[in-house]
């Protein structure tokens, strides 16, 4: 049986956030069980704060290659309701670090270097891992090309680094006061890899909060965001417009390659709809051989351009209303449920949020570059469609009738019915999810299969080679019940193979090979083949 590859985890994040002084941080092999009174994490946090992808758990799940993303926590998080609650409930979070971030006393670059120092400290050190009652010693090492990857070694976990959020390159603690030239210089440090600057596979340009490079897609629900939504130094609410000129220069610097400097790919996850469109156009015009990647995604289930959201002054089947959000800089979009299929009393739907891929983009990614792009499927049940809230926030870049910098919104559609914001309150739809424990595992896996098979149905036969796992474990996600943590991947693999033919028949997708071979491609072959072609 083949091992598995994960294209997006945050293995170093929780052990680094859990201590005041980074030299006291525990090994990334440590399985953290965050101490919250009365086991409240199992009810309010669904174990999202505990380790999901420690290296021990990855090894137990039979992983031997993983892309770990370094992520400096954004200032908006310090205003978020769930972080404030965690600070009150547990000692397993560095209140000192959170406070310095909140008060802008530490730069995002310094936080990045802190996590990188932690990541480098324990590499090549043997750790005891117990797997099915058998103990063995395992180490991890950073690799700088796929020539260093040995799929047959089960005593070494191969690690590739990425960075999530262009804000990571801000070197001034005062968030709104940055020098663009210094940001470019910081990028260049990672384009000429050294022992202290391992080679990156990619950078995710945006994250949850506004930055100077691009508008982001909304992702943090209002009940979790707290005052972080309208944070003046970069909030969760999307208020920008596409890629900025500085963002385009950031992209150019990453994709530019010389005999000495390595190319760094850009991940489109978290970019707003127009920011993604701007990126596609820039790549097509200036770097046409560059593959597009989306590392930890779900799909919306429809085409952004053909759907039009609001057409000829009338609401479509997709959008049931648009209202102005409280800070008057973005719009609250109330979606109808995007139905996929029903099975065993489970109603499976897509998540229509703009953070997910539209059908148009699926084709674009699969056909990109010289040998095709790559889509990583996330394990976050909310992003995959198992969510009660189907309300999302958009900036005026998508719906406003006004132009900005002589650019019109992406969609040729009025802001809402008759061009006016709707008055009154529109209640959010509540998706009636079947919570019968007998179907809990199947329910979760149906959502994953629905997203995977939709990509194949839209993208054609080549899509079977273009999808991999990008779990986002340890990124504060509520993972699928079937595989809440990395050590459950073997069970996940088995259930995928069992359920794949059933869901494929429902979605009228023909399987070109055995379910087992297709699952192996998803969990191993596709990511490895992509990296061998594009990360030499």
Could you report the per-residue pLDDT of 207-249, keeping only the tens digit for each?
999 999 999 998 887 667 777 778 878 888 888 889 999 999 9
Count other C-beta atoms under 10 Å from residue 229's C-beta: 23
Over the stretch 137-188, which tens digit does the pLDDT of each residue have? 999 999 999 999 999 999 999 999 999 999 999 999 999 999 999 999 999 9
Q: Which two tokens stand for residue 232?
A: 């003046």
**What pLDDT shows up at residue 303?**
84
Higher pLDDT among residues 389 and 457, named by residue: 457
Q: Which two tokens stand for residue 16?
A: 């680094």
What domains can be seen in the chain, in order of their start residue? 4-37+45-413+437-534 (3.20.20.140)
pLDDT, tens digit, 9 for 90 and up, residues 57-88: 999 999 999 999 999 999 999 888 778 777 77
Confidence at residue 19, expressed as pLDDT on a 0 to 100 scale = 93
Partners of 294 in the β-ladder: 375
Q: Say what the pLDDT of residue 106 is.
A: 97
Is-contact 9 68, C-beta < 8 A? yes
State the pairing for strand pair 63-70/4-9.
parallel
Total-model pTM:
0.92
HSE-up of 507 (CA within 13 Å, CB side)?
A: 27
CB 157 within 8 A of CB 138: yes
| 450 against 427, higher pLDDT | 450
Q: Is the pLDDT of residue 383 over 70?
A: yes
Residue 425's pLDDT is what? Answer: 45
423 pLDDT more than 60: no
The band of 442, judged by pLDDT with boundaries at 50, 70 and 90, is low
Tell which wins on pLDDT, 287 or 314.
Answer: 287
Asked if the model's pLDDT at residue 315 lies above 80, the reply is no
């Amino acid at each position: 049986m083949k091992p598995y590859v994960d294209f997006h985890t945050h293995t170093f994040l929780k052990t680094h956030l859990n201590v005041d002084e980074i030299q006291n941080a525990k090994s990334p092999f440590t399985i953290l069980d965050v101490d919250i009174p009365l086991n409240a994490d199992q009810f309010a946090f669904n174990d999202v704060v505990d380790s999901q992808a420690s290296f021990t758990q990855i090894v137990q799940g039979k992983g031997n290659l993983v892309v770990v993303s370094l992520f400096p926590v954004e200032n908006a998080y310090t205003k978020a309701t769930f972080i404030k609650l965690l600070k009150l409930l547990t000692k397993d979070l560095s209140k000192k670090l959170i406070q310095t971030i909140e008060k802008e006393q530490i730069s995002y670059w310094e936080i990045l270097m802190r996590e990188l120092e932690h990541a480098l400290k324990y590499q090549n050190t043997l750790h005891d891992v117990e797997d099915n009652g058998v103990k063995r010693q395992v180490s991890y090492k950073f690799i700088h090309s796929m020539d260093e990857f040995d799929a047959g070694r089960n005593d070494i976990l191969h690690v590739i680094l990425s960075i999530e959020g262009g804000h990571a390159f801000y070197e001034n603690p005062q968030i709104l006061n940055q020098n663009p030239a210094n940001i470019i210089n910081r990028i260049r440090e990672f384009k000429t890899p050294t022992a202290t600057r391992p080679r990156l596979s990619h950078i995710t340009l945006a994250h949850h909060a506004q930055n100077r490079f691009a508008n982001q897609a909304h992702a943090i629900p209002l009940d979790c965001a707290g005052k972080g939504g309208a944070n003046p130094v970069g909030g969760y609410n999307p208020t920008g417009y596409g890629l900025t000129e500085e963002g385009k220069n950031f992209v150019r610097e990453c994709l530019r390659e010389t005999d000495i400097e390595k190319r760094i790919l850009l991940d489109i996850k978290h970019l707003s709809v127009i920011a993604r469109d701007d990126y596609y156009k820039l790549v097509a015009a200036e770097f046409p051989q560059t593959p597009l990647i989306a590392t930890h995604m779900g799909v919306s289930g429809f085409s952004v351009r053909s759907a039009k959201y609001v057409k000829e002054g009338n609401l479509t089947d997709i959008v049931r209303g648009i209202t102005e959000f409280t800070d008057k800089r973005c719009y609250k979009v109330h979606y109808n449920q995007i139905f996929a299929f029903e099975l065993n009393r489970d109603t499976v739907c897509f998540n229509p949020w703009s953070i997910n891929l539209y059908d148009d983009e699926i084709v674009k990614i699969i056909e990109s570059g010289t040998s095709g792009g790559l889509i990583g499927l996330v394990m976050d049940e909310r992003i995959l469609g198992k969510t009660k809230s189907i309300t999302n926030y958009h900036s005026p870049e998508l719906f406003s009738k006004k132009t900005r910098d002589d650019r019109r919104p992406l969609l040729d559609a009025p802001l809402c019915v008759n061009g006016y914001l709707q008055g009154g309150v529109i209640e959010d739809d509540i998706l009636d999810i079947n919570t019968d424990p007998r179907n809990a595992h199947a329910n979760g896996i149906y959502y994953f299969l629905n997203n995977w098979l939709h990509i194949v149905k839209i993208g054609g036969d080549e899509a079977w080679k273009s999808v991999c796992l990008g779990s986002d474990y340890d990124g504060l996600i509520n993972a699928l019940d079937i595989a809440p943590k990395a050590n459950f991947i073997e069970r996940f693999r088995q259930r995928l193979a069992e359920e794949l033919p059933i869901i494929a028949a429902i979605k009228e997708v023909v399987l070109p090979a055995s379910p087992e071979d297709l699952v192996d491609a998803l969990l191993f072959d596709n990511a490895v083949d992509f990296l061998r072609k594009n990360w030499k």
